[in-house]
Copies of this chain bind each other. A is one copy, B any other.
């Protein structure tokens, strides 16, 4: 869709990655289910991560060495805790800045009509 010079072409599609990385950057380690609940409460129920979207993305982020994982048993149930790596930290910051920049650009397009 976009062939951007400043924005990676994953900016939009990759919003989920940005969300996950930013949460991990903020909270230290988290497990999958915890992430869905945090997103739900942070966004006031507006974003409800599905498992079919979350887990494959977590696996992808780990494959890219942006996060690491360690499995534990908590209260009889398996939990897989994810932590952000150093590379992931830099990536998270870059993604967030890109998103903010993109937002400004989009506003340049949609704002004029809003005030009509």
Binding site for B on A (CB under 8 A): 1-7, 12-13, 15-16, 18-19, 22-23, 25-26, 39, 42-50, 53, 92-93, 96, 99-101, 103, 105-106, 108-110, 112-114
| Given A113-B92, A114-B96, A15 contacting B45 (CB threshold 8 A) | no
Residues of B within 8 A of A44 (CB): 105, 108
- 28 A/B residue pairs, CB under 8 Å, sorted by A: A1-B15, A1-B50, A1-B53, A2-B16, A2-B48, A2-B49, A2-B50, A2-B53, A3-B49, A3-B50, A5-B45, A12-B12, A15-B106, A19-B106, A22-B109, A22-B110, A22-B113, A25-B113, A42-B108, A43-B109, A44-B105, A44-B108, A46-B105, A47-B105, A92-B113, A96-B110, A96-B113, A100-B110
